Each structure stands twice: as C-alpha cells, then as structure tokens.
Amino acid sequence: MQETQTTPSLSIPSRSSISTPDRSSSVGQASSTGPQPSKPPAIAPPVKPKGRSSGAGVRRMRRIIAEDTEWSLAIVPLLTELCIQHIVKNFQNDPILKQLHPEHQKKVLSHLPPDLPLAVTANLIEDENYWRRCCVQRWPVCHVDEHGGSWKRMFFELHLEKLLKHFIPGTTDPEGILSLLPLCRDYVRTIRVDQFLPPVQLPPAPRSGDQSDSGSEGEMEEPAVDHYQLRDLVAGLNRLEELDLVYGVKDCGMNFEWNLFLFTYRDCHSLAAAIKACRTLKVFRLTRSKVDDDKARILIRSLRDHPALEELDLSHNLIGDRGARAAAKLLSHSRLRVLSLANNQVRAPGAQSLAHALAHNASLVSLNLRLNCIEDEGGQALAHALQTNKCLTTLHLGGNELSEPTATLLSQVLSINTTLTSINLSSNHIGLDGGKQLLEGMSDNKTLLEFDLRLSDIAQESEYLISQALCANREAARQRAPNPSHFMSPITAKGPENPAG
Amino acid sequence: MNPPGSLGVQEDKEEEHLSTPILEPSVHSDNPQERIQARRLRIAARLEARRREALGEYLDGKKETEEDQSKSYKQKEESRLKLTKLLLCGTELVTNIQVAADIRETHRRVEEEEIKRQRLEKLENEVKTSQDKFDEITVKWEEGKQKRIPQELWEILNTQQVHCAGLIEEKNKLISELQQELKTKDDQYVKDLKKQADDICLLLERMEEQVKSVMKTFRQELHHIEKAFEVERQELLTSNKKKWERALQAHNAKELEYLMNRIKKVEDYEKQLNRQRIWDCEEYNMIKIKLEQDVQILEQQLQQMKATYQLNQEKLEYNFQVLKKRDEESTVIKSQQKRKINRLHDVLNNLRSKYNKQIKQFQEENQSLTSDYKRLVMQFKEMQKAMRHFALIDDKQFREIWLMNEEEAKDLISRAFDVDRIIHTHHLGLPWTAPDFWFLKNVGPISQQQHKSATQILEEVLMQAEEEKAEEAASESESYLELPKQVSAKTTRKILMLLCDEAGFLIEGKLLSLLQPLEKNERYLLRLDAVFSALGIETEDDLYKLVHFFLKYQAHRSPPIQMSPWYLRLEQTSLVSALEPQELLGLGGGEGSLAEGEPPGKEPLCSPLLIHPNDVLKILEAFVMGLRKPRDLRAPAKLLKVARDDSKDSEYWKALSTVIPAATLSLWDVLYTALEKYHLILTQRAELLIENRSLEQQNTELQQLLQQYLDSKINTQLQVPPTQVFRVPTK
C-alpha cells in the first residue's frame, strides 16, 4: 500500500517540474545567484551542554573535586575532536580523509561544508550524505530516483546540466566545462539539457523587431548560430548512458527570434559524431528541436549498428517519410527497444517502411507514432506487420487519421498476437463498425492490458465492453504475476509519458 | 498477498484449537468410550485431510479461506478495486486533455491542409487570371503601339491604366486577404496559445485534483482498511478475551479444587508423619541396642583379626624372602640364558657364513665341473674325429693287407693250380679243368656288395646311360644280371626320369635352386635321391620293387598284347645290345629322338608314354602304402651293418686255403709216393746207367786193351794167339 502512495507523490513534482518551466527556471536562478550558507556549521562539541544540564553527570564527570568548582572534564574537548575540527577547517588545502579511522571519517564528512571546491571533493568523497547536503543546498527540489538513487551522481549531473544550459558559445570559456570532465567522468550517466543558448550577436537589439516578423532572415546567419559542440564532453564521459537534448531557448519571452530555435547542420553533424563515438549510450532523446528529414537521417545513420542504444526519441520534430524510412532501417541494424516519433510528419509511406522493418524485428518493444498522419494505408501496413511480430508490446497510434479498415485488420491482430499489452488508438475516426470489430478481436485476446479508444467515434457500448475485457485481462495478469505491484506498474509507467502533450 | 487474511486463518485455527478440548471428545479423557470416540474422529479427520491433499484442493482451501476471510480482506479487495478504478479514471481524466488536444491538433492539421490546398489553388487561379490579364495588357500594348491617333492612344493608355490598376488592385486584394488570413492566424495562434495555457492549467488542476483525490481516497481506503482491521481486531480481542475469561474461570475452579485437595492431603501427610515418627523412634532404639551388640562382637572379631594379621604378616614376610631369593635365581638364570642365546646367535651367524661360503664354493665347483664337462665333450668329439680318422685308416690298411694277402694267396693258388695242371696233364695225362670258385674272383675285402643302396643303383643306371656310349654292353648286362626281374636299364631310367619329373614336389625348393648349375645327369641323380629319401626308398630292392610296381601297374592297365612285344623287345635289346653295341649306342645317346625312325627305337619310347604322367602320383601313392609295412621291420637291422661283417672272412680265407680239394691232395699224396718210388727206381736206374756206362767204358777199355794185346806182336809171336781162342764181340 505504501508503494502506491509514494509513487504518485514522487511523480507529481516531476510532472510539475517539467510541465511548468517557470519553476525549474526559478531553480536555476536561485542556484545561479550563488550558494547561500543555509545550514550553520554545528561543530560545537555535543557533550558540553549535556554535561551542564545534568548535575549528576557533572558529579560523575569531575574526577578532581577541588577548589575550582567550575572545572569539569567535559569542558575540555577531546584531542580527536580538535583534530577533526582542524581537518575540517583546512580540508580545502589539505584533504585528509582516507587515512582516518572510519568513525572519524564519518565525523569529518558530517562537518564538511558543502561548498568546497569540486576539484578537492569530487574524487575523494564517496559519502552520500555529504553529496546529499550539497544537492539540497543548491537545488530546492531533488529527485534522487531520476539519477539512479545516487546523490553524488545527481550532483554532478545537475551541475553539468546547469553549465551546459548557460553556456554561450563564443563568450563562455569551453574549458570551464572540459575542466570539470576529469572530476565528473565516472559519475555522470545522464545528460538532460533542455536549452542550448545561441552565440551572442552584437546587433540583435535593433533588428529584433524586424526579425520577429519573418524568420527568413535568420537562415542567412545560420553558420553563426551554432550551439555548444557536445563532442568533446561526450567523448570524455565514459559512463554516459542517456542523452536528452532540446535545441531551443527557454524563457525568451518577448525576445523571441526564430533563430533561437535553430538546430543547425553543424550542430547536427557534431552531435551525430558525438553519439557515434559514445559506445555506452543507451538512451538518446532529441525533442522539440526542429529536426527535419535530412538531419534525422544524419543522426540515425550515425546510430546504425550502435552497440548499446536501446531507446531513440525524436518526438516533436519535423521528420517526414524519409526520416521514418531511415528509422526503419535503423530498426533492422540495431537493438533498439523503444522508438518514438511522436508528433512528426510521418505519412503512409514512412509508416509502411516502419511496418516492413517491424515485421522482422525481434527487439523493438515500444513504438510511438502519435500525432502523425499515417492514415489507413500505414495503419494497415503496421497491422500486417504485427501479425508476424512477436516482440512489440506497446503501440501508440493516436491521432493518425485511422479509420475502419485499420480497425478490421487490428482486430485480426488482436486475436492472433499474444505479446501486445498496450495499444492507443485515440483521436482517430474508427467509427461504429470499426469499434464492433475491435470488440470482436478483443474477445479472443487475453494479454492486452490497455486499449485507448477515446475520441475515436466508437459506440459507447463497445468501448465499455472493451474496457470490461481489459479489466478481466488485467485481473488475470495480476493473478499470473505473484507481485501485487504489477498491476500498478503500467499506470505508473504511463505517468511520465502523458504530460509531454 | 494477504498476511492479515492468513493471520485471520491462523487465528481461526487457534480458535478451533482452543475450542476442541471443550467441545470434542478428548483422547486424554478418563472415559474409555470417549477416548475411542476421540480416536475415531481423529482418524477420520486425518483421512479427510489426506484426501483433500490428494485432490490438490489448494484452490478449494483457498476458497474456503476466502470464505472465512474476514471483513478486512474484503475491505482490502474492495478498496483495491476502487483505487485501481480511481487511478484509471484519474489518468483517463488527465489524459483526456491530451487526447482532446491531439484530436484538435489533428483536426487543425486537416483543416490547415485543406485551407492550404485551397489557398494554393486560389493563388494558382489568381496567377492564371492575372497572367491572362497581363497577357491581355501586353497584347494591348502592341495594339497601342500601332495606334497613331493620340486620341485613341490616350484611350488605350487609359484602358491599360485601368486594367493595370485592376490587376494591381486584385493583387493588393489578394495580399490584403492573405494578410487578413495571417492576422486571423495570429489571432488563432494567440487563441490557441491561450487555449493551450488553459489546457495546461486545466491539466495541472486536474492532476493536482487527481493527486489530491487519489491521496484522499487512498487515505480513506487506508482508513477503511485500518478500521476493518481494527474492527476485526476488536472482534478477535473480545472473542479471545471471552475465551480467556472462560478459561480463567475454569482455571480458577480447578485451582480451588486443587487447593482443597492439597489441604486434605497435607493433613493426611501430617498424620502419617507423626505415626512414622513414633515408629521410627522405636525402631531407632531397637537398632541402637542391636548395633551396640554388634559393635562388641565386631571388636572381638577385630582382636582375632589382628592376631591373624600378625601371623599372616610373618608368613608373608617369609614368603617375600623366599620370593626374593627366587627372583635372584631367576635373574641369574636369565642372564645365563641370555648369554647362551648370544652364543647360539654367534654360532648361527658362523653357520650362516659357512653356508654362504659353501654355496659359493659349490657354485665355483659347479662352474669348474661344467667347464670340465665341456672340455671333455670337446675331447670326446676330437676323439671321435680321431677314431673316425683311424677307422678310415684302419679300413685302408685292412684293405691293403687284405689285398696283399689275397694276392699272395692267389699267387699260391695259381701256383697250386699250375702244379695241379702240370700234374694232371703231364703226370696223370688227364685233361685239367680250372676250378671255378666265387672267391677266386673276389678282389679286396668282402663287403655288403649285395645290398647296394638305391642311390648307387641310380648312379649306376644313370652312369650307364652315359657310359653306354663308350663302354661295352657286356659289363652292363653283367651288372644287370643282378636285377631280379631283368628289367632293362632303359626302362628303369625312363621310369625314373618320369618319376623325377612328376614327383618334383617332393624335392625341397632350396635343393632345386642349388641343383640349377649342375649338369643334367647329376641333377637328375640328386633330384631322384631327394625323391627317394622322401618316399623312403633306400635299398635297391626297394627301387626294383618300385620299377616293378610301375611296370605291373602298366601291365594291369594296358592290354597284354601291347605289353608283350615291348617286353620281348626289351629282352631283345638287352640281348642284342651285347651283340650290337653300335645300335645300342644310338639308342641310348639319342634317347629315341635320333632313332625315331627306327622301329627298335620307337618301342621303348612308348613305355613312358604308356604310363601317363597323371598316373604317376597314384602309382606312387599305392607304392608308398605298400612299402611302408615291410620297411618298418628292417629299420633296426640297418644300424648293425655299419660294423664290418667278418664272419665270412675266415670262411673266405679257409676257402682260399682249401682251393685244392682233398681228393686231389690224396691223389697228390699217392702220386707223390708213386713218384717217389718212380724216382727211386729212376735213381737206381740212373745209378745202373751210370754203372752200365762205367762198365761199358771198362768194356771198351778192356776191349781196347785186348785189342792192343791182340794186336800186339807178342800175340803173333805167341804159338797160339788168344785171338784165335775167343771171338771178338762185334758190337
């Protein structure tokens, strides 16, 4: 019961932090204003007050009872205490930790100020409590779970993220980031950057009014607006597993310019080289960055035969059929498990090529094609592919202009396929007959746990019956799985996906 | 999954457990009937349990427990369902916004596309129409150029201007339209933004609401569940309390009972104790007296014992002394024995060394003896060699002496014969015939000439075939006179050749290869030798038997008519050969090939032809079978022939000495006496002759003297001459 309670409570702030940019930016600002010593260093010997408080204790503590009635052994701090105090005080110049007794190590760590230079602490201190203090001091909202439960990793990831977010090409010194590299290379596994600042242009102010009208002029200056080149950084991080990038600017307000959101070809090439060189990368996300077909192809080509890549997310871009075809090729040349092309411009041909790849694929688990326009042709092709595929469990085809023919094929798939657990066909025009056919297909299926058919012109009756069948399936799945949390997992897993819209 | 449920079950069980002793018959009951009942029930319960287990009624049991499961479980299930529903509904509610936005977006996209398409169409149409108009205008420009009249030109220009203005106006209109559209789009965009912001707000609201409601409901449900548990717990508590109280009451009652019993028992025991005490006192006194008596007795005994102890001590001391002495003795003996053992060990060692020495000695002796033995054997061999050598020499000497003696004897014999002959012819005037004895012809020592070995025969046969050319036939015929059946040499030879060719398999391969370089006859000889040795033919008898066998076999096989001429022929040839050595020479040398045309040469040739080579083996087989038996008997006799047989020697010599028969000797004796007499007579006669002669001489001398006397003058002178007295003899 506790689990169910904790998971939503944790997921709520994460949603809010992502969905409301104001708050996260305020975090950044707060951190950028500089660290404020919120926690007063309590190094005072803890025995002292205790000795004074209890008279009996004093009696016991006083070994020599003489004229000096004030004298007590408790007043004199222990030598070890003094040493530890000294070590803490001079830690920046003379870090002594490893040589100490474990007990003293603990004491030293608990008394260290969290604003020590990273060069001293990064590779020396492993203690989570210290890093936790550092994190709490710098960021008011901390989700350790998103960083593998390690405060140290979280600290470095967030630190690096902040540096990257505020990096301005041409003005900021790239050495500032690269100098951090030897300190954080063993700890950083994820880079999530949702803004890349363009280089500062000297005359932006007078022309800003003109440029806001037409974005055409921005393209002329494209070579000048390259963003930070991730290549060196990514090459240095030997444990990097996740890259989550958005080439865009946050909180531009009235300073909006089209070229603030440009993902240039040079950026694209450098990013492609970076991810190609990074052999440990598992998750690659590049969203809301105006990636068109050509750039998508460049990126995907660099990912071909990547040894570790499992998830590719290119949602909210401008990818068309050619990019989809490249992604389909990638499917057969990698071990991709999750592919998301949500909110792109994939049409029937792209969906067909994806379906062709899907028919013989044995690794892809999740495919998201939300808000594309694959229409019935693509939908039918995908349904045909699903008849042979034995691996895919999640399929999102919401908002794809699908209608009855796809539904008929999908109902056949439902009666055959035993791996699919979640299908989303919301915001389509499936129609009454299609709904009935899907209901028929559902009656033979025992594995599907989720089937979203909202706003798809289906009769309420069939929707209700389908939901009944789903309930039965879920109950059966719950019975099959010994773990009671199983039936909760699809719902919680769905959580982070939803707020993206 | 449901620890409270299982807890409840446990509690239920506990309850059952608690209730059983009250309700059901107990095994520990005092009533035997009840005990039996209880046991029966227990067995039945066990069987039931086993049956259930066997049927695998896990689910059944679960169902049962579910039925039994208390409110808490139900509440839990209920709240779980409720919560899942709530969660699903909540997520649906939240995601509804997204879906709605999605569908709006899709609609917008569709509309946008449509509008875009329309706009494009419109623009294209516009372009087309404006192009047309522009074309018209340009055409009119051409027209205008042709105009010469200013009025018209002006008019045209005016119209052109109007047209151009129209065109521009249209374009402007289009532009304004587009701008209008853009504006509306902007408005739309702003609206959309607002809408989206609203959506997001709504979403947030809903999410928060959702979170709140979920938390609330979760709390509520938790509360409910807790309440349910509480209630259940309360129930359990009350029931347990009741049970507890009941049990306590029972316990108290029992306690009271026990207490009463105890008091009673205590009293009883006190009484018993008192009784016991009195009894014990009496007994104690009794025992005391008795024991005192006993003590006295024992003291007496002690005194006695002390006395005996003294005695025993002395005895033991004496014994100890004796034993000590014995011990000393035994130590002495022991040392002696030890010494003895040592000595014996020494002896044993000496003997062992001696034994080893002797073994060595004997070994050496053995070696020396073996070497001696070897030497002796060598010597013996040498001796044998020498003996053989001496035997050979002896033989030779013997032969030489024999020959010498024989020669001498023969000389003597011949002289005797001469004398005999002279006696016969001269003295007796009888014709003398030379006596013919076998031993006269003998030259050299008598040997086993009769038993020639087969090989020798062979050699002879073959040699004869060779020699035939040069040698006279007589010798051949003479040698073959010995043959019992008078089989001709040639036939024999043919048969032997045949045998040699056919029975080649009996010869060893090694021998054949050795024979290759030899000349033909010798080769045959050796081969036949080998064949015969294989067949077991050793003596000439065997050989002749063999030949005979062949011939007989042949005769048996072929018609006798054919056989006889050949036989005759053979006889003839053998006879003829003596007379006509030339012819024989041709026959023997050419082996029939030269004398093929001649009839006599043809005949013997058919003999090997008649005996078919294929039959040879059969014949041989039959022969060997027949030969085997007699052969076995003769085998030991053969060995004796090595020693020379000198039984006949004395005979021979005696015969030689008695070459003149006794009759002749007596004759000679008589003759001798007669001759003696004759000689005597002759000598007398000779004497007489000599006397006669002397007398004659005297006569003549006397005559002469007479004559002289007569012739003398005296006579004439004499008155009467004597001459007148007597007559002179005239001779």
Interface touch A16/B204, C-beta < 8 Å: yes
Question: Nearest residue of A to residue B80 by CA position?
Answer: A1
Residue with tokens 């070590």: A87
pLDDT tens-digit profile of B458-484?
666 666 655 544 444 444 444 444 444
Question: Nearest residue of A to residue B207 by CA position?
Answer: A12
- Show the beta-strand stretches assigned E in A398-476: 422-424, 450-452
Count CB neighbours of B323 within 10 A. Answer: 12
Interface touch B99/A487, C-beta < 8 Å: no
Between B265 and A499, residue with greater pLDDT: B265
Residue with tokens 């001649």: B598
- Nearest-CB residue to A399 (from B95, B103, B225): B103
Helix A460-480 to helix A431-444 angle (10° resolution) is: 20
Three-state DSSP at B168 gives: helix
Q: Does pLDDT of B133 surpass 90? A: no
Cβ-based contacts of B1 with chain A (< 8 Å): 484
pLDDT tens-digit profile of A15-71?
333 333 344 333 334 333 334 444 444 444 444 444 344 445 555 555 555 666 676
- Nearest-CB residue to A370 (from B84, B102, B215): B102
Question: Nearest residue of A to residue B84 by CA position?
Answer: A488
Cα atoms in the 13 Å half-sphere on the side-chain side of B226: 7
- Nearest-CB residue to B200 (from A19, A370, A399): A19
Between B87 and B652, residue with greater pLDDT: B87
What is the predicted pLDDT for the residue at A488?
44
Token pair belonging to A107: 């004491």
CB proximity list for A321: less than 8 A, separation 6 or greater: A293, A346, A347, A349, A350, A353
Cβ-based contacts of A370 with chain B (< 8 Å): 102
Largest Cα–Cα distance of chain B, in whole Å?
A: 280
Token pair belonging to B112: 């946008």
- Nearest-CB residue to A1 (from B98, B102, B222): B222
What is the predicted pLDDT for the residue at B478?
42
Token pair belonging to B525: 């000889």
Token pair belonging to A222: 């494209």
CB B588 within 8 A of CB B468: yes
Rounded CA separation B540/B155 (Å): 176
Chain B: nearest CA to A248, how far in angstroms? 18
Q: Is A135 exposed, middle or buried (0-12, 13-18, 19+ CB in 10 A)?
A: buried
Q: Does pLDDT of B559 surpass 50? A: no
Interface touch A491/B91, C-beta < 8 Å: yes
CB B222 within 8 A of CB A4: no
Which pTM does this prediction carry? Answer: 0.52
CB A114 within 8 A of CB A137: yes
Cα atoms in the 13 Å half-sphere on the side-chain side of B253: 5
Interface touch A426/B214, C-beta < 8 Å: no
| φ/ψ (deg, to 5) at B223 | -60, -50
Across chain A, mean pLDDT equals 78
Rg (alpha carbons) of chain A, rounded to whole number: 29
Cβ-based contacts of A371 with chain B (< 8 Å): 102, 105-106
Chain B: nearest CA to A435, how far in angstroms? 18
- Range with lowest mean pLDDT among A317-321, A453-457, B463-467: B463-467
Residue with tokens 């920046």: A92
Any B CB within 8 A of A14 CB? no
Q: Does pLDDT of A310 surpass 50? A: yes
Closest by CA position to A158, among listed A140, A175, A173: A140
Chains A and B: how many Cβ contacts under 8 Å? 72
Q: Does pLDDT of A371 surpass 50? A: yes
Any B CB within 8 A of A35 CB? no
Interface touch B103/A426, C-beta < 8 Å: yes
Cβ-based contacts of A498 with chain B (< 8 Å): 91, 94-95, 98
Between A47 and B165, residue with greater pLDDT: B165
What is the predicted pLDDT for the residue at B70?
67
Any B CB within 8 A of A198 CB? no
Q: Do you know the residue count of chain B? A: 731
Rounded CA separation B570/A218 (Å): 151
Question: Nearest residue of B to residue A426 by CA position?
Answer: B99
Rounded CA separation B618/B673 (Å): 75
Interface touch A498/B84, C-beta < 8 Å: no
Interface touch A399/B207, C-beta < 8 Å: no
Report the run of H or E that residue A142 belongs to, with start and end.
Answer: none
- Nearest-CB residue to B211 (from A12, A488, A498): A12
CB proximity list for A315: less than 8 A, separation 6 or greater: A287, A340, A341, A342, A343, A344, A368, A370, A500
CB A437 within 8 A of CB A466: no
CB A416 within 8 A of CB A447: no
- Range with lowest mean pLDDT among B144-148, B265-269, B674-678: B144-148
Chain B: nearest CA to A265, how far in angstroms? 28
Question: Nearest residue of A to residue B113 by CA position?
Answer: A373
Rounded CA separation A70/A335 (Å): 76
- Range with lowest mean pLDDT among A287-291, A452-456, B539-543: B539-543
Any B CB within 8 A of A375 CB? no
Cβ-based contacts of B218 with chain A (< 8 Å): 1, 4-5
CB proximity list for B684: less than 8 A, separation 6 or greater: none
Interface touch A498/B94, C-beta < 8 Å: yes
Cβ-based contacts of B96 with chain A (< 8 Å): 454
- Nearest-CB residue to A454 (from B1, B99, B106): B99
Any B CB within 8 A of A492 CB? no
Interface touch A401/B200, C-beta < 8 Å: no
Any B CB within 8 A of A28 CB? no
Token pair belonging to B35: 């005990």
Closest by CA position to A264, among listed A232, A230, A302, A295: A295
- Over B637-669, what HEC string results? HHHHCCCCCCHHHHHHHHHHHCCCCHHHHHHHH
Q: Does pLDDT of B102 surpass 60? A: yes
Question: Nearest residue of A to residue B76 by CA position?
Answer: A1
Chain A: nearest CA to B247, how far in angstroms? 38
pLDDT tens-digit profile of B327-341?
999 999 999 999 999
Cβ-based contacts of B215 with chain A (< 8 Å): 5, 8-9
Beginning with the edge strand found earlier in the chain, give each strand of the sheet holding A450-452 in spatial order: A190-193, A242-245, A283-286, A311-313, A338-340, A366-368, A394-396, A422-424, A450-452
In B503-539, alpha helices (H): 509-515, 520-535
- Across B440-453, average pLDDT: 61
The sign of the dihedral angle between the CA atoms of A340, A343, A345, A351 is positive
What is the predicted pLDDT for the residue at B89?
87
Closest by CA position to B145, among listed B136, B134, B157: B157
CB B473 within 8 A of CB B584: yes
Interface touch B102/A398, C-beta < 8 Å: yes
Any B CB within 8 A of A398 CB? yes
Closest by CA position to A85, among listed A68, A62, A101, A104: A104
Interface touch B101/A501, C-beta < 8 Å: yes
What is the predicted pLDDT for the residue at B456?
64
CB proximity list for A374: less than 8 A, separation 6 or greater: A346, A347, A348, A350, A351, A382, A397, A400, A401, A402
CB proximity list for B193: less than 8 A, separation 6 or greater: none
Chain A: nearest CA to B233, how far in angstroms? 20
Cβ-based contacts of B222 with chain A (< 8 Å): 1
Residue with tokens 């070995």: B453
Rounded CA separation B339/B334 (Å): 9
Strand A422-424 and strand A366-368: pairing?
unpaired
Question: Nearest residue of B to residue A3 by CA position?
Answer: B218
What is the predicted pLDDT for the residue at B291?
94
- Nearest-CB residue to A427 (from B92, B94, B102): B102
Cβ-based contacts of B204 with chain A (< 8 Å): 16, 19-20
pLDDT tens-digit profile of B408-437?
888 888 888 888 888 778 877 777 777 777
pLDDT tens-digit profile of B210-230?
888 888 888 888 888 888 888
Question: Nearest residue of B to residue A16 by CA position?
Answer: B204
Between A268 and B35, residue with greater pLDDT: A268
Return the C-alpha torsion angle B58, B62, B63, B67, nearest 10.
150
- Nearest-CB residue to B102 (from A5, A426, A494): A426
CB A73 within 8 A of CB A61: yes
Rg (alpha carbons) of chain B, rounded to whole number: 87
Rounded CA separation B339/B398 (Å): 83
Any B CB within 8 A of A373 CB? yes
Q: Does pLDDT of B627 surpass 80? A: no
Three-state DSSP at B380 gives: helix
What is the predicted pLDDT for the residue at B22?
43
Interface touch B100/A455, C-beta < 8 Å: yes
Chain B positions touching chain A (beta carbons under 8 Å): 1, 83-84, 87-88, 91-92, 94-103, 105-106, 109-110, 200, 203-204, 207-208, 211, 214-215, 218, 222, 225
Rounded CA separation B115/B175 (Å): 16
Chain B: nearest CA to A65, how far in angstroms? 58
CB A390 within 8 A of CB A416: no
